[in-house]
Amino acid sequence: MSAPKVAVIICAAGSSRRMGGGGKKEYRPLEKGLTVLGAAASAFSLCPRIHAIVIAVPQDTHAGECAARASIPPDLLRERAAPPIRFVSGGASRRMSAHRGLTLLADSPPDYALIHDGARPWVDRLLIERVIDGAMLHGAAIPCVPLAETPKEIDGQGFVKRHLRRSSVQAAQTPQGFRYDALLAAHEKAALRERREGIEYTDDAEVWGEFVGPVSVIAGSTGNRKITFPEDLEDLVKEESTL
């Protein structure tokens, strides 16, 4: 029996508004000649269980794809590179971008799909492998890490509504892994609900949880941080330069 086919969709279609200027965060340089997006793409390309990579780029397809290509190591884009990298025009939200990537894969559907933030450059092969194994075992698996600070639920007036326990709350990371066919069907249902009710989904685990079933949790990695603000990139570069 052949090994299951696994594809990854790297979402890099956002505007990077919270970075405060200076261009898209995914295209910014890191140490060792890699960009943020290039580092993420390289990590998945080094995992032999990944059969295809799809990168969701800003909605201006031509300009978005050109900029994304320029930020990825050329050897990953060469003809007959394995795994092959394809590009898709992203949507107005992260969910829409993931949905478009899943739809692009329908011409040669994988068995499992991973969804990853293009702004998480330090994902490593061990985490990728754990997510794939979790998805194969349970149908859906996401990495999570414990919270360092005590979470509070806040009401609409700015007061604490509930005092949550750290032991029961964790922070979700990516890549998140799912059975491909079920995730695509769930996104189609989510898109319909969005149009009818204006619902917004924060990640693919939420889409799966509403339309398919339970999502299993595996151990995440504290090093697998997401770049959101300028200081996140500065801290990451400092840490990398000390290695």
185-204 pLDDT, tens digit per residue, is: 999 999 999 999 999 999 99
Q: What distance in Å separates the CA atoms of residue 58 and residue 91, rounded to the nearest whole number?
A: 8
Please report which confidence band the pLDDT of residue 158 belongs to, taking 50, 70 and 90 as the band edges.
very high
Output the pLDDT for position 2.
Answer: 81
- pLDDT of 235 above 70: no
Within a 10 A sphere around the Cβ of 29, how many other Cβ atoms? 13
Please report which confidence band the pLDDT of residue 16 belongs to, taking 50, 70 and 90 as the band edges.
low
Within a 10 A sphere around the Cβ of 185, how many other Cβ atoms? 14
Please report which confidence band the pLDDT of residue 243 belongs to, taking 50, 70 and 90 as the band edges.
very low
Average pLDDT of the residues in 142-169:
94
Could you say which of 3.90.1150.10, 1.10.150.120, 3.90.550.10, 3.40.50.720 is the CATH number of the domain covering 6-145+171-226? 3.90.550.10
Indicate the length of the chain as a whole number: 243
Output the pLDDT for position 242.
Answer: 47
pLDDT above 70 coverage of the chain, percent: 91
- pLDDT of 240 above 70: no
On whether the CB atoms of residues 210 and 168 are closer than 8 A, the answer is no
Please report which confidence band the pLDDT of residue 59 belongs to, taking 50, 70 and 90 as the band edges.
confident
Output the pLDDT for position 150.
Answer: 92
* CB neighbour list of residue 218: distance below 8 Å, 6 or more residues apart: 130, 131, 134, 141, 142, 143, 144
Is the torsion defined by CA of 20, 26, 30, 35 positive or negative? negative
Cα within 13 Å of Cα(58), Cβ side: 16
Q: What phi, psi does 185 have (nearest 5°)?
A: -65, -40
Average pLDDT of the residues in 132-142:
98
- pLDDT of 87 above 60: yes
First to last CA, the chain: 42
- Element (H or E) spanning 63, and its range? helix 61-70
On whether the CB atoms of residues 176 and 141 are closer than 8 A, the answer is yes
Q: What distance in Å separates the CA atoms of residue 60 and residue 150, rounded to the nearest whole number?
A: 41
Output the pLDDT for position 104.
Answer: 98
On whether the CB atoms of residues 220 and 144 are closer than 8 A, the answer is yes
Which tops the pLDDT comparison, 22 or 112?
Answer: 112
Residue 123 DSSP one-character state: -
Output the pLDDT for position 230.
Answer: 78
